[in-house]
Amino acid sequence: MLRTVYLILILLGVNTVLYSQEISLFEQFNGRYDYTAIGNTLNPAENNLDHSFCEPLASSQADLNLDTNCTIIAAYLYWAGSGSGDLEVNFNDTPIVADYTYTTNYSDATYGTLTYFACMANVTDLILSSGNGSYTLSDLDITNILLSIPGYCENRTNFAGWSLYIVYENPALPLNQVNLFQGLEIINRNVQEKIIVLENVNVLDNDDAKIGFLAWEGDNALNYGESLSINGNIISNPPLNAADNAFNGTNSFTNSTTFYNGDLDVYNIENNIAIGDTSVDIKLTTGGYDSNGFFQADLILLNNIITVLNSQLPDATITIDAYYTTCGTRDLEIDFTVHNLNSTDILPTNTPIAFYANNALIGVTATLEPIAIGASESNTVTFQIQNSIPDNFNLTVIVDDNGTGTGSVIEIIETNNTAIQDISLIPLPEVIPLDPLTNCDLTNNTAIFDLTEIESQIDGSYSNLYYFLSIADLQTHFNPINLTNYYQSLTTPQTIYLKAETSSCYAIYTFELLTENCPPFIPEGFSPNNDGINDHFNITGLYTIFEKHKLLIYNRWGTLIFEGNNDLKWYGIANRGINDGHRVPTGTYFYVLHLNDDKYKPMTGWVYLNY
């Protein structure tokens, strides 16, 4: 189960001074959690009653006795006092430096401005290693401040003290939400009322709901107009904390009334909050007239507030684990995971998930199964990005969003549902032309080509090469040409596309297959004896290639005896002159071949006919 799940300020190793810091959410825990606190004053007596001291004690001690079934999750040390701040103290012989320091001022009519401070340090590791036992805080030194500025002691606002807060896990506890708020706020005769709104709480069940306070400088003897209200209801914890004297130097964890000028108190508030509440209103008041008609007011410094609420809610978050783009397409594949880590209840099935590209909705999906507390669900979706969106864009994925910015699940935190990723699509590469391949016409304007010969024109190193008949086939990798070294062209010219794959994309080349009429081969003789072998004047590379040719045959006296064309071959039979239709005798005949191709002159020669 997730331990610490929500942190407002993370400044490790750097002390932060915050002036007049309003109390706000510091850290949130969700699970089977609760808290306890110990601490002690460094005042030897209540400063309002005893004028004999103007310096704090050198040290004070308190005991931690946590049940063995409890596991410490976090531990925070608070210390406070008069003055602008002592940022380093000693805690069980370990130097502790403040992670956060808050200060606030009180303007006194007689002594001017008086400053007060509160510090906090994360001491989880120290408490984990030390465990139960006695803890002593020392070296909280404000003596010089008190002696140099007499207003603190004269005004009886000299104080110092400390407290240790422990957040722990126990499997026997219900599922709770623990919210720790901190800062430093003041009420006094000048500011007699303060309202603090605690945000980011979720109340599903108010049974055993409680709220705790750490406050400083409260005086038991000054109970004039003093009240502490939750959602408009004055709360009390008699006899320790009366309704008109909430800040009276008490410790609810030990029932001590001698936590001089400090209050470490906790109240049950199950009747002061309602199921469905997402905030709590805290109101503090001080100031009133005594029996002699004089105005009196306690000065109270509120340092932190902690709430423990039974809150069974999921908390959906989402991460973009990976994304994949396909070269030359606008397809985007997204691997994502929906988490329910910061939760006290399952995340239901069909929790919607919206995907935006530059804030334009590109698609919606949903979770497939209920996601248990601390669990997650991974999935993959693919979208085609609209052409109106540029190749480089911002992908935003929001869980619990139905595509209109509206969710359907009440969550512990409603502001952590988004994941963002910069996306770069890979556009279709530029088509690079290459020189054509040329080969002789075999028949009907087609030829046989070795397509791999084109690779000598390509620069670069490629993992795979594929040939396609169209750019569309290349993009979808559909129907690549298989016999690349013995490819018969379909027409002339015919365009071929070459995909040259790289590790990230591919290059596109294009070239043409040109079929040309090569010179025919004319034999020196033939034997038209009907034996099925060489029965006609077979001029290879002529018929169905030079379709418009004309073949003229002359006898030795120069008489035209045969005229042929693409559809009429010479089988030794005359079709001109007196022997028309008859076989010609054995002998040598003269031919004239008109190819009717601008590249070639008429071809002439002798052929011997023998039966």
Q: What φ, ψ does residue 475 adopt, rounded to 5°?
A: -65, -40
Cis status of the peptide bond prior to 493, with omega within 30 of 0: yes
Instruction: Indicate whether this model's pTM tops 0.85.
Output: no
Query: In sequence order, what DSSP letters do the residues of 365-418 get, joined into one string?
Result: EE-SS-B-TT-EEEEEEEEEPPTTS-SEEEEEEEES--SSS---S--S-SS--E
- Over 159-183, what HEC string results? CEEEEEEEEEECCCCCCEEEEEEEE
Q: Which two tokens stand for residue 41?
A: 């004053």
- Quickly count: other Cβ atoms within 10 Å of residue 61's Cβ: 12
- Quickly count: other Cβ atoms within 10 Å of residue 102's Cβ: 27
506-516 and 431-433: which strand pairing?
parallel
Do residues 262 and 56 touch, judged by C-beta distance below 8 A?
no
* Model pLDDT, residue 119: 98
**Considering only CA atoms, which of 380, 345, 384 is closest in space to residue 362?**
384
How many Cα atoms are found within 13 Å in the side-chain-facing hemisphere of 566?
13
**Amino acid identity, position 547:** E
* Model pLDDT, residue 201: 73
Do residues 195 and 232 touch, judged by C-beta distance below 8 A?
no
CA 561 to chain centre: 89
Q: What φ, ψ does residue 143 adopt, rounded to 5°?
A: -60, -45
Q: Which two tokens stand for residue 132?
A: 């139960």
**Considering only CA atoms, which of 350, 339, 340 is closest in space to residue 312?**
340
Phi-psi region at 171: left, alpha or beta (left = phi > 0; alpha = psi -120 to 50):
alpha
Beta bridge partners of 371: 347
DSSP state of 286: -
At 468 the three-state DSSP class reads strand
Instruction: Write out the H or E segment, with its range, that includes residue 474.
Output: helix 471-476
* Model pLDDT, residue 344: 81
Beta bridge partners of 251: 256, 264
Q: Which two tokens stand for residue 475?
A: 């993009």
> Cβ neighbours of residue 125 under 8 Å, at least 6 residues apart?
none
Angle in degrees, CA 595, 601, 603, rounded to 5: 70
**Considering only CA atoms, which of 502, 509, 508 is closest in space to residue 437?**
509
Q: Which two tokens stand for residue 285?
A: 């008041």
Task: State how far the Cα of 119 lies from the Cα of 299, in Å rounded to an integer.
Answer: 19
- Average confidence (pLDDT) per 10 residues, the chain, 611 residues: 32 40 89 95 93 91 96 98 96 97 95 97 97 97 94 95 97 89 94 87 70 95 91 90 93 96 93 78 91 92 92 90 91 97 90 97 97 96 95 97 92 90 92 95 89 92 93 93 94 95 90 93 94 93 91 95 96 94 95 93 95 89
